[in-house]
Structure 1
Amino acid sequence: MSAERTPEPGIPGEAGTSGPRHRGKGRRRKPRSGRRKGLLVAAWTTAGIVVLGGSGAGYLYFKLNGNLKSVDIDQALGTDRPAKADNGSQNILVLGSDTRADGNDKVGGGTDDGTARSDTAMVVHVYEGHKKASVVSVPRDTIVDRPECTDTSGTVHDAASGVMFNSAYATGGAACAVKTVESLSGLRMDHYLEVDFSGFQQLIDELGGVEITTTQDISDPDSHLDLKAGTHTLDGEQALGLVRTRHGVGDGSDLGRIQLQQAFVKALVERVKDIGVLTNPKKLVDLADTATKTVTTDTGLGSVNKLMSFAAGLKNITPAHMNMVTMPVQYDPADGNRVLVEETKAQQVWAALKADKPIPRTATENTAAGGAKGVVSAP
């Protein structure tokens, strides 16, 4: 009888193996293959592009390094946090923010009072060995108990019960968003990556667009999106509209939008793989310049060197090795526009990641879904 292969963690159903802002510095790294560069929405794509574009030659080095922005989350949150994992795994909180600063007001970002929200939130768990990952999307409309937190300027924000998840970022920025996710999951967030809308839009345009296929018409005036069923190459504005729309598909909830976002990630990865930036140095520099302007990180990733090292450590994670799910929720009976955490199933998700094991399929079955799965795919 032939030896049976032991699967690595990350895919449900398989057994797992045991096992205020700052500026930053960088150097050149050997280019990686395209598939390995595309990682997760714009933030992960950014990390991959930085691996390519982080030239240590004089001006370019300082330019890219000077673009990066970081926040000291560890100092803001102190020691009252979950313990760091000792099994070689990592957890990263990836946020898409709609602040109206830096041009985001032109793409519909932020609120009328000037505050920002976390429009997209993903907990990325990188398994021991850094060959597979699970991605858990947290619906922005989830009703949660927000813990007391201290933002990066030292201001303390009171705890609040029965509020929307994205109010954490609006209240206290990155530090309070991390604190809330850690309270929800019981997992320590080792790193933080934030992408703003205007940077995302520009990055897609500089990539030359992203090709997707839709199985039905998608029309949402609020996000300036009007697509007929078929194959399209989305420019930056259309791509932004797709990942933000919630009324054009499915049940009109944030859950449907999450399903579109997860499908767009795969199409984006394919585009980065095929773009051929390695043969076009100018495009490479332009992409790296935009990418480093687009993200805000924790100080642990706050230099080109650190970001390159982080991205290089993820080089073996391909789309086939990424399991993407939504945190288990149910619709709120009192308000159809809100969802409630399905506590038992959600704890199965977080417990699996804490143990560095695959997320059980049963943890995400029979939960609110959104009705948009399969509407968008890579061609």
Structure 2
Amino acid sequence: MSRPPEGRLPGKKLPDSSLSERSEAGRRQARWIRPLQLAALTLAGLCGGGYYALSASGQGSGAVVLSGSLPNFTLLLAGRDVIYCYYHQPCKDQNQRKGVIQTSNTDTLMLVKVRGRRVSVLSIPRDTNVGEFDPRKSAADQKVNAKYWDGGPQALVSAVETITGERVDNYLIVRTEEAARVIEALGGLDVNVPKGGIEWIDKAADVNLKLSAGPHHLDGQEGVWYLRVRKGFGDDYGRIDHQKQALSQLASKLTTARGLSALPTILSVMGGVETNLDPGLLQSVQPVLSQFKLSFATLPTNTIPHSFNLAVDRQKLAQVWGDALSSAPSGGGPTSQDKANLNKAGQVTVLLEDASGAQLGPAMVRALNESGYPKVQLSTLPRSNEQSQVFTQTDVEVAQQLADQLNLPRLQGERFAVQPGQIGVLLGSDARQLFAALNRFAPHPPVTQPPVN
């Protein structure tokens, strides 16, 4: 991919005198037009077609081919704990409500919003208060994770609607053994354990998870333990962040041959969970999964004084999970928001982590520079099978723009290793295929000439 001569726009021929005759207004316009056009040529091209995907039949037509209209709905995904009747002994009937010593909470809560090609996932911290905090009532009873036990799925749905202000159309309540079957059917989970490793041993829950720092491939049961553990990730927010990464990876596997073969298992699991979701929806959506653009965010909260409960911050919620972020790109010309984000792109620092194992980092730095991101810091990591992704804390709009250009999922979190003014990009081993056009710029080992006799 050759860079156009300085002062020229791709595909445009300018007379030799054009630069000297161009007005100041024209120069100002070129400063944002040129990177925007380069973004389309470089980043979208590197993704093997950018925003557009192949049709369900696998024939490359250059445009999205859909059978019918894409769905628009919301889905509440909840993971429920095990119910214990005696010490170290789970109840044989996991649906009983009497004679238990430990009830079933829903510490994992995600609200999925599907709007056209956008799939936005909002993680809700387990300690989030439902409505206004009442100091006269039990703090634990006011937390969202207790509502399922109090009144079943409908009570949980109502609580999430109160917290987010969103209508919840469907719910899916999953137990640990069901989640393990899905992870196993999709081929397991690839993770990168942080420094210090993870050790979680809980005889009561029959958990025995010991992972050293570095990359690991987990089976279904280990994957569920990893998603539930907080130790090694700091707190519930850290756990939520690595849950986002895992869910993004599993969702991407649904579009592979392994995902297709796993569909019967996933459908059989859905037959045993608590849900009001039509099982046929997954089958109808599966052919167009590769066209969905994923983004993940964490519900912003503030600590309620004299309590461990959390109050939702609605102003920040609109910034990280608003309708503007949930709408798909129009495909038309640049909007005023596009221009504003492009100006911000020149100010943020992109922390590029190359774990592709193919030395794609230097070539990606060049592509990012040409696309309006002049501040790029490259670090090379050991090869990782984690999914390539864009991640951020506060600079969500710019991160979304970059994720769209790279055709990668965008993750917003509270504990990602980025600061305000920084956006992270992780290149996993899948980057070799996603950005195959970069291979020509990647360094190659020197060719050793045979000795001359």
| Alignment match, 1:243 | 227
Displacement after TM superposition at 1:305 (Å): 3.3
| Alignment match, 1:256 | 238
Q: Report 1:277-296 matches (<5 A).
A: 285=264, 287-288=265-266, 290-296=268-274
Deviations 1:3-27 (CA, angstroms, capped at 9, x unpaired): 979x9xxxxxxxxxxxxxxxxxxxx
Mapped pair 1:369 → 2:414: yes
Query: Tell me, which stretches of 5 or more residues in structure 2 are unaligned?
Result: 1-8, 12-32, 41-54, 59-69, 329-336, 345-391, 396-411, 419-423, 430-453
* Secondary structure of residue in 1 paired with 2:414: coil
| Alignment match, 2:18 | none
Query: Tell me, which stretches of 5 or more residues in structure 1 are unaligned?
Result: 8-29, 34-86, 148-157
Cα separation, 2, equivalents of 1:255 and 1:377: 23
State how many pairs are aligned: 273
- Sort the Cα spacing of 1:32 and 1:234 in 2 relative to 1 into closer, same or farther, 3 A: farther
Displacement after TM superposition at 1:143 (Å): 2.3
Cα separation, 1, equivalents of 2:302 and 2:427: 25
Instruction: Using structure 2 for the length normalisation, give the TM-score.
Output: 0.49
Cα separation, 2, equivalents of 1:317 and 1:229: 34
Cα separation, 2, equivalents of 1:177 and 1:210: 28
Cα separation, 2, equivalents of 1:268 and 1:114: 30
Q: Report 1:1-379 matches (<5 A).
A: 89-100=72-83, 105=90, 112-113=100-101, 115-127=103-115, 130-145=116-131, 163-216=142-195, 217-222=197-202, 224-249=208-233, 251=234, 253-274=235-256, 276=258, 285=264, 287-288=265-266, 290-298=268-276, 301-302=277-278, 304-309=279-284, 311-312=285-286, 315-318=289-292, 321-332=293-304, 334-335=306-307, 338-348=309-319, 352-353=322-323, 357=327, 365=394, 369-370=414-415
CA radius of gyration, larger in: 2
| Alignment match, 1:51 | none
**Aligned residue identity for 1:259:** D
* Secondary structure of residue in 2 paired with 1:268: helix
Q: With CA pairs under 8 Å and 6+ residues apart, which has the higher RCO, 1 or 2? A: 1
- Sort the Cα spacing of 1:225 and 1:294 in 2 relative to 1 into closer, same or farther, 3 A: farther
Cα separation, 1, equivalents of 2:326 and 2:253: 30
Question: Is the Cα contact below 8 Å between 1:97 and 1:120 reproduced in 2?
Answer: yes
Indicate the RMSD between aligned Cα atoms, in angstroms: 4.6
- Sort the Cα spacing of 1:288 and 1:227 in 2 relative to 1 into closer, same or farther, 3 A: same
**Between the two proteins, what is the percent identity of the paired residues?**
26
Deviations 1:336-360 (CA, angstroms, capped at 9, x unpaired): x54332243235556x2399548x9
- Sort the Cα spacing of 1:275 and 1:32 in 2 relative to 1 into closer, same or farther, 3 A: same
